[in-house]
Chains A and B, each alone.
Chain A
Amino acid sequence: MQEIKIFHAAIKDIPAMALKIKAENKKIIGHLCSYTPEEIIHAAGFHPFRLFSSKSDIVLAENHLQAYCCSLVRGVLEDSLSGKLDFIDGTVFPHTCDSIQRLSDIWRMNKKYGFFADVILPVKLNTDSARTYMIDVLTKFKKEVETAAETKITDDDLNASIKTFNLIRKNLSAIYALQSQKPGIIKGSDLYALVKGSMIMDKNEVADLLPLIADNLEKMDTPETEGKRIVVSGSICDSPDIYTAIEDAGGIVVGDDLCTGQRWFDGEIDEKNTNPVNAIADRLMTRIICPAKHKGTTLRGENIVSLAKENRADGVIFILLKFCDPHAFDYPWLKDFLEKEGIKTMLIEIDDQQQSSGQLSTRFETFIHMI
Chain B
Amino acid sequence: MIYAGIDIGSNTAKAALIKNNKLFGTHVISTGYNPLKAGIKVFKEVLEKIDILKRNVTAIVSTGYGRATVDFADKTMTEIICHGTGAHFMNSKVRGVIDIGGQDSKAILLDKNGNIENFAMNDKCAAGTGRFLEVMAHALEVNLDQLGDFANKADSPSKISSICTVFAESEVISMIAAQHKRENIIAGIHESAAARIAILAAKVKIKEPVIMTGGVAKNKAMIAALKKRLGCEITAGKLSQENGAIGAAVLASRL
Contacts and interface: CB of A to CB of B under 8 A. Distances in A.
Interface of A: 349, 354, 357-359, 361-363, 365-367, 369-370
A369 B121 contact: no
Contacts of A361: 78
A358 B65 CA distance: 7
A362 B116 contact: no
Contacts of A349: 123
Interface string B159-170: 000000000000
B80 A362 contact: yes
B191 interface: no
A359 B79 contact: no
B132 interface: no
Contacts of B121: 359, 362-363
A53 to B, nearest CB: 18
B80 A366 contact: yes
B65 A366 contact: no
Contact of A369 (B65, B116, B117): B116
A321 to B, nearest CB: 13
B43 interface: no
Contacts of B124: 354, 357, 359
A365 B116 CA distance: 12
Contact of A359 (B77, B81, B104): B104
A367 B117 CA distance: 9
Identify the interface centre among A362, A365, A367: most chain B CB within 10 Å of its CB: A362
B119 interface: yes
Contacts, number: 35
Interface in B207-248: none
A359 B104 CA distance: 9
11 contacts: A358-B65, A362-B65, A362-B121, A366-B80, A366-B116, A366-B119, A367-B119, A369-B77, A369-B81, A370-B117, A370-B119
A368 to B, nearest CB: 10
B75 to A, nearest CB: 11
Interface in B50-82: 65, 77-81
A365 B121 CA distance: 13
Contact of B81 (A354, A358, A366): A366
A358 B116 CA distance: 20
Contact count band on B: 10 to 19
B104 A366 contact: no
B123 A366 contact: no
Contact of A370 (B79, B104, B116, B123): B116
A17 B47 CA distance: 58
B18 to A, nearest CB: 20
B15 to A, nearest CB: 20
B79 to A, nearest CB: 7
A362 B123 contact: no
Contacts of A359: 65, 104, 121, 124
Nearest to A362: B78
B86 to A, nearest CB: 14
A250 B117 CA distance: 18
Contacts of B80: 362-363, 366
5 smallest CB-CB distances across A and B, nearest first, come from A366-B80, A365-B78, A366-B78, A362-B78, A370-B116
A358 B69 CA distance: 12
Contacts of A354: 124
A365 B78 CA distance: 7
Contacts of B81: 365-366, 369
B74 to A, nearest CB: 16
A367 B121 CA distance: 11
B23 to A, nearest CB: 23
A358 B78 CA distance: 10
Interface in B177-205: none
Contacts of B79: 362
Contacts of B117: 370
A105 to B, nearest CB: 30
Given A363-B78, A366-B80, 5 more contacts: A361-B78, A363-B80, A365-B81, A369-B81, A370-B116
Contacts of B77: 365, 369
A328 to B, nearest CB: 13
Contacts of B116: 366, 369-370
Interface in B116-151: 116-119, 121, 123-124
Nearest to A351: B124
A177 B223 CA distance: 51
Interface in B84-130: 104, 115-119, 121, 123-124
A369 B121 CA distance: 15
Nearest to B203: A347
Nearest to B122: A359
Nearest to B79: A362
Contacts of B65: 358-359, 362
Nearest to B118: A370
Contacts of B78: 361-363, 365-366, 369
Contacts of B104: 359
Identify the interface centre among A354, A357, A367, A370: most chain B CB within 10 Å of its CB: A370
Contacts of A357: 124
A358 B118 CA distance: 19
Nearest to B66: A358
B124 to A, nearest CB: 7
A319 B79 CA distance: 22
